[in-house]
Structure 1
Amino acid sequence: MTLPMTLIAHMTDLHLRPRGLACYRVSDTNMFAERAIRSLKALSSRPDALVITGDLTDRSDPREYAVAREMLSRVDMPVYVIPGNHDGSADMRRELHDYPGISESRDGKIFYKVDIGDVQLIALDTHLPGKPEGELGPEQLSWLDATLRDCAKPALVALHHPPALSGIAHMDRIGLIDAAALAEVIAPFNHVERLLCGHLHRPIIAGFAGKIMTLSPSTGHQVVLDLTENSPAQFNFEPAAYFLHYHSQNTGVVSHMSYVENFPGPHDFFADQGVVWPGDEP
């Protein structure tokens, strides 16, 4: 008997621009996002949902949300989005009001919960107007605590700003302000299986409050990996990727990174018949 499974795609930091404009003048983020969507649609296993953890747009421009709406309309699965520091909670609520959970705003924030197969997605809003750092705030943290108490399903908590430090100094300085308060809320709940984050434009896995934080790379440009104390804020074009979070009763949540670019293969594994390799002599 085949056990039920849930597969959730996690993309982040698309930084979509109005048609014809590049991000930072050199990053064709719309093209990169289109390529990521094509990769997602070509997967052999169709995800049950797509989660985008913020910075869907680059400047929270209505034209950028229009690009997002058109692009995501071609994704044949539910799409769940939350704001990042480059988005705006009010703008996203206005422009994407019909997306799941977007209209469920409190105190200016967009946060909601939804069941996806055997797991529960808890989507949070860390946007601070006019600031690059993020904050959840007391109301959202209180709601998160009540939500985790109410349901013991395996939980994926999605937020743009990562609560754990990365060692990339210039990014850590614009992280989550109330990370300690978040840790206090989620630490007692063993069913929190993943924190899904963005913001840093790199694939990063770290522990936080006894949980696993998976930070997805951007679908476009990546932050330079520089762990020196005075690292400059720079980006490059390392291969783009996104995460796939797989859940079954046998495995719990398992996170896989899926690359966007085309690459050679697949090739079959096989043994060369009649060939004796050095060291294999009888």
Structure 2
Amino acid sequence: MRLIAHLSDLHFGRTDPVVVEALTRDLVQQKPDLVIISGDLTQRAKSHQFAEARHFLDRLEIPVLVVPGNHDLAPFYRPLKRLLAPRAKFQKYLPNLAQATCWNDEEIIAIGLDSTRHLRWQSGKLRSHHLDRVEESLSNSADHHCKIAFLHHPPSTARSGHPFQTLTQRGVDLILTGHVHKAHVELIHSAQHGAGVLVQASTACSTRLREDANGYALIQVAWPEIRIDVRGWNGLTFHAVRSHGFIKDSRGWREQDCPLPHAAPRNSPIEEY
């Protein structure tokens, strides 16, 4: 079994210190095997913001995978840097993480895809080289592997390029995204493989709230079953807000009536928003 914490849109530079501390405590308490962050670690890609993000990640003492979001690129008011070296500070302050965007063990394969690598930084786009990387990374995968792709932009913002169904057609089971600051879980249908599961995270700790409170997703993988707990901030602590269960069979992924039991007992009840 693997436990994965999926975070997005931390936006250091626009964070609530109380929420940051509570998020750190909750992640340490949950003890995930891996933390995946799908972009926007900073608000304006400034040096001190990347330093704050790095400090937060170092405190977790948990393996981390990250991809940049549009806010992690050089800002528009520095047009030359935006054009010529948009990820310079991301790579400077997160050198190991910027290079290591793939995880492969006995149970899961996770592949990071940079959906900001084009001129449509805001809307995001999947291109052919992303699909080539997925195919290469999954070429030696086994049937029992849970295959994960994570990127910043969700399908709802992509204007062109390959649709997200092309990831599930290549064998991806779980797609993790962020960007819109709204927690959302759904099946992505595909004619060839039945379905994949989309998990869209809210903003983890910033004050740039939209429809949802701060939150993240805790994903438990016990093949061929997945349980996704959406965890939210209630002003005092992070707690389980709602849960989604999925199982894969010969027809593909489908929702489960009875989700997997938690990896460890929770102290807070499951509530709805």
Question: Same fold, TM exceeding 0.5?
Answer: yes
Over 3 Å counting, the alpha-carbon distance change for 1:223 and 1:39 in structure 2 is same
Q: 1:201, 1:221 within 8 Å by CA — same for their partners in 2? A: no
Q: 1:63 to 1:222 in 2, by over 3 A?
A: closer
- The Cα shift of 1:93 comes to 1.6
Aligned residue type for 2:218:
L
The answer to whether the 8 Å contact 1:48/1:77 transfers is yes
Q: 2: CA distance between counterparts of 1:98 and 1:72?
A: 12
Which string of whole-angstrom CA distances, capped at 9 and with x for unpartnered residues, describes residues 170-204 of structure 1? xx4xx363242x42343252xx2211110110111
Tell me, in whole angstroms, the C-alpha distance in 2 between the residues paired with 1:123 and 1:63.
Answer: 25
Equivalent residue for 2:229, pick from 256, 259, 278 = 256
**Paired residue type of 2:151:** L
Query: For 1:1-282, what aligned pairs fall within 5 Å after superposition?
Result: 5-17=1-13, 23=14, 28-43=15-30, 46-88=31-73, 89-99=87-97, 102-103=98-99, 112-116=101-105, 118-127=107-116, 128=118, 131-152=121-142, 153-163=145-155, 165=156, 172=157, 175=158, 177-180=160-163, 182-189=164-171, 192-208=172-188, 209=190, 210-219=195-204, 220-221=206-207, 224-225=210-211, 238-249=212-223, 252-261=225-234, 262=236, 266=267
- One-letter code aligned to 2:232: Y
- Which protein is bigger by CA-based radius of gyration? 1
Change (3 A) 1:199 1:71: same
Question: 2:51 is matched by which residue type in structure 1?
Answer: A
Partner Cα separation in structure 2 for residue 176 and residue 93 of structure 1: 27
Distance change >3 Å, CA 255–CA 55, structure 1 → 2:
same
Partners of 1:148 and 1:188 in 2: CA distance: 8
Task: Kindly state the Cα deviation for residue 94 of structure 1 after the two structures are TM-superposed.
Answer: 2.2
* CA distance in 2: counterparts of 1:214 and 1:266, whole angstroms: 24
The CA distance in 1 between the partners of 2:154 and 2:110, in whole Å, is 16
What amino acid maps onto 2:89 in structure 1? D
What residue number does 1:271 align with?
A: none
Contact 2:134 2:170 in 1 (8 A): no
Q: Which amino acid aligns with 1:193?
A: D
The CA distance in 2 between the partners of 1:179 and 1:222, in whole Å, is: 29
SS in 1 for 2:60: coil
- Give, as a single letter, the amino acid of the residue that structure 2 aligns with 1:119: I
Residues 113-167 of structure 1, C-alpha deviations (whole Å, 9 max, x = no match):
212551111111111467311123222221212222331321111111012x3xx
**Greater strand share, structure number:** 2
Q: 1:260 deviation in Å?
A: 3.5
Letter in 2 for 1:156: I
Percent pairwise identity: 25
Cα RMSD over matched residues? 2.6
CA distance in 1, matches of 2:42, 2:104: 26
Letter in 2 for 1:241: G
> 1-side partners of 2:91 and 2:119: how far apart?
14
Cα offset, 1:31, TM superposition: 4.4
SS of residue paired to 1:178 = coil
Aligned twin of 2:81: none
Quickly say closer, same or farther: Cα 1:147–1:49, change in 2 above 3 A.
same
Unaligned residue ranges in structure 1 (runs of 5+): 18-22, 105-111, 166-171, 226-237, 269-282
**Structure 2 residue matching 1:86: 3-state secondary structure:** helix
Instruction: Report if aligned partners of 1:57, 1:86 keep a CA contact under 8 Å in 2.
Output: yes
What is the TM-score with the length of structure 2 in the denominator?
A: 0.71
2-structure distance, mates of 1:242, 1:147: 26
Question: How many aligned positions are there?
Answer: 219
In the aligned structure 1, how far is the partner of 2:95 from the partner of 2:268? 45
Q: Tell me how far 1:216 sits from its aligned partner.
A: 0.9
Aligned to 1:233: none
Higher helix share: 2
